[in-house]
Structure 1
Amino acid sequence: MTKEHKSIMAEIYLQTVEKLMMSVPDNNDSRLWRENVSTKNLELDILRIPSKYSAVKDTQELQSRGNVLEVNVQSIMGADTEGPVTIGFSSYVGMELILNESFFYSSVSTSSAMKVNSPVITATVGNRQQHNLTAPVKLTLHHKQLHLSNPVCVYWKYQTSGSSWSPEGCKMLISNVSHTTCSCSHLTSFALIMAISEQKIPDDSALSIFSSVVVSISLVCLALAILTFLLTRSIVDVNKTVYLHLSLCLFGAHLLFLTGVESTSNKTLCSVIAGFLHFLFLASFTWMSLGGLQLLLLVRNLKAVKYSSRQGLRRRHLLPVGYGAPALIVAVAAVVFPSGYGGEQHCWLSQYRGFFWSFRGPSYFLITANLLLFTSVLYNLRSQLHGVNSDVSKLKDTRLLTFKSIAHFVIMGCSWALGFYQGLQVFRYLFVLLNGLQGFFIFLVYCLLNRQVRGEYRSCFRRVTRQTETSVPEGTETKDTTL
Structure 2
Amino acid sequence: MWIEWDDNECQNVTNICGERGSCNNTAGSYDCTCVSGYTSTGQAKFQPNDGTECIDIDECKSGQICGPNSRCHNTNGSFYCTCQRDYIPTSGTKHFDPETGVRCKENPLKYCHDNIGCITQTVNKTLEYMSNITEPQSLLKEIVKQTSGELTSVQVIAYVEALCRSASTLSAEGKDFTVKPSVINSTLTKLVKAVNNLVEKDELVAWSRMKEERREHTITKLLHTVEESALSLANNYKTPTELEIKATEMELKLFTFNARHTKAKLSVTMGGDHINLTPKLRPEEDRNGSVSAVFVRYDSISDILKPSSDPGVTDYSRYAEAGEITVNSQVIAAAVRPADVYQLDHVTFTLRHNEPVDTQADVTSCAFWEYEADLLRGRWATHGCRTLHVTSNATTCSCTHLTHFAILMSSGRANLVAHRTVLTRITQLGMIISLICLSMCIFTFWFFSEIQSTRTTIHKNLCCSLFMAEFVFLVGIDVNTHKLFCSVIAGLLHYFFLAAFAWMCIEGIHLYLIVVGVIYNKGFLHRNFYIFGYGSPAVVVAISATLGSKYYGTDKVCWLSTENHFIWSFIGPACLIILVNLLAFGVIIYKVYRHTAVKKPEISHFQNIRSRARGALALLFVLGATWTFGVLHILHETTLTAYLFTIANAFQGMFIFIFLCVLSRKIQEEYYRLFKNMPCCFECLR
- Is the alpha carbon distance of 1:389 and 1:313 closer, same or farther for their aligned partners in structure 2, counting shifts above 3 Å? farther
Q: Does 1:457 align with 2:650?
A: no
SS, match of residue 457 in structure 1: helix
* Displacement of 1:268: 2.1
Of residues 492, 500, 517 in structure 2, which corresponds to 1:284? 500
CA displacement 1:431-467 (0-9 Å, x = unmatched)? 4445555433433343344454344323322322179
**In 2: Cα distance, 1:311 partner to 1:411 partner:** 28
In 2, are the aligned partners of 1:253 and 1:281 still within 8 Å (CA)?
Answer: yes
* Displacement of 1:346: 0.8
Q: Relative contact order, CA 8 A, sep 6+: which one is greater? A: 1
Letter in 1 for 2:579: T
Of residues 444, 462, 466 in structure 2, which corresponds to 1:246? 462
Which residue in 1 is equivalent to 2:353?
A: 108
CA displacement 1:377-402 (0-9 Å, x = unmatched)? 44444444445646432545998677
CA displacement 1:347-400 (0-9 Å, x = unmatched)? 112344443332232223223323333444444444444456464325459986
SS, match of residue 350 in structure 1: coil
- Is the alpha carbon distance of 1:196 and 1:314 closer, same or farther for their aligned partners in structure 2, counting shifts above 3 Å? farther
Of residues 355, 360, 382 in structure 1, which corresponds to 2:571? 360
**In 2: Cα distance, 1:357 partner to 1:199 partner:** 24
SS, match of residue 264 in structure 1: coil
Paired residues for 1:340-351 under 5 Å: 340-351=551-562
* Displacement of 1:112: 3.5
Q: Does 1:439 align with 2:653?
A: yes
* Displacement of 1:284: 1.4
Letter in 2 for 1:457: Y
* Displacement of 1:248: 0.9
Q: Does 1:258 align with 2:474?
A: yes
**In 2: Cα distance, 1:468 partner to 1:393 partner:** 31
In 1, are the aligned partners of 2:491 and 2:552 still within 8 Å (CA)?
Answer: yes
- Is the alpha carbon distance of 1:262 and 1:206 closer, same or farther for their aligned partners in structure 2, counting shifts above 3 Å? closer
Q: Does 1:420 align with 2:631?
A: yes
Range with greater deviation from structure 2 (244-253 or 441-450): 441-450
Which residue in 2 is equivalent to 1:314?
A: 525
Which residue in 2 is equivalent to 1:67?
A: none
**In 1: Cα distance, 2:413 partner to 2:627 partner:** 17
Paired residues for 1:324-403 under 5 Å: 324-387=535-598, 389=600, 391-395=602-606, 403=614
SS, match of residue 583 in structure 2: helix
In 2, are the aligned partners of 1:341 and 1:347 still within 8 Å (CA)?
Answer: yes
Paired residues for 1:155-234 under 5 Å: 202=416, 204=419, 206-234=422-450
- Is the alpha carbon distance of 1:390 and 1:435 closer, same or farther for their aligned partners in structure 2, counting shifts above 3 Å? farther
Letter in 1 for 2:357: S
In 1, are the aligned partners of 2:359 and 2:390 still within 8 Å (CA)?
Answer: no
TM-score by length of 1: 0.50
Stretches of structure 1 that go unaligned for 5 or more consecutive residues are 1-105, 116-147, 154-165, 175-194, 302-306, 470-483
Stretches of structure 2 that go unaligned for 5 or more consecutive residues are 1-350, 361-386, 399-408
Identity of aligned residues (%): 30
CA displacement 1:276-306 (0-9 Å, x = unmatched)? 11111111111111112222333445xxxxx
- Is the alpha carbon distance of 1:149 and 1:268 closer, same or farther for their aligned partners in structure 2, counting shifts above 3 Å? farther
**In 1: Cα distance, 2:656 partner to 2:567 partner:** 29
Letter in 1 for 2:461: H
- Is the alpha carbon distance of 1:360 and 1:439 closer, same or farther for their aligned partners in structure 2, counting shifts above 3 Å? same
* Displacement of 1:240: 1.6
TM-score by length of 2: 0.37
Query: Over alpha carbons, which structure has the higher Rg?
Result: 2
**In 2: Cα distance, 1:434 partner to 1:244 partner:** 21
In 2, are the aligned partners of 1:409 and 1:415 still within 8 Å (CA)?
Answer: no
**In 1: Cα distance, 2:428 partner to 2:564 partner:** 32
CA displacement 1:105-137 (0-9 Å, x = unmatched)? x9523463258xxxxxxxxxxxxxxxxxxxxxx
**In 1: Cα distance, 2:481 partner to 2:423 partner:** 26
In 1, are the aligned partners of 2:551 and 2:563 still within 8 Å (CA)?
Answer: yes
* Displacement of 1:327: 0.7
Which residue in 1 is equivalent to 2:262?
A: none
In 2, are the aligned partners of 1:207 and 1:429 still within 8 Å (CA)?
Answer: yes
SS, match of residue 574 in structure 2: helix
* Displacement of 1:249: 1.1
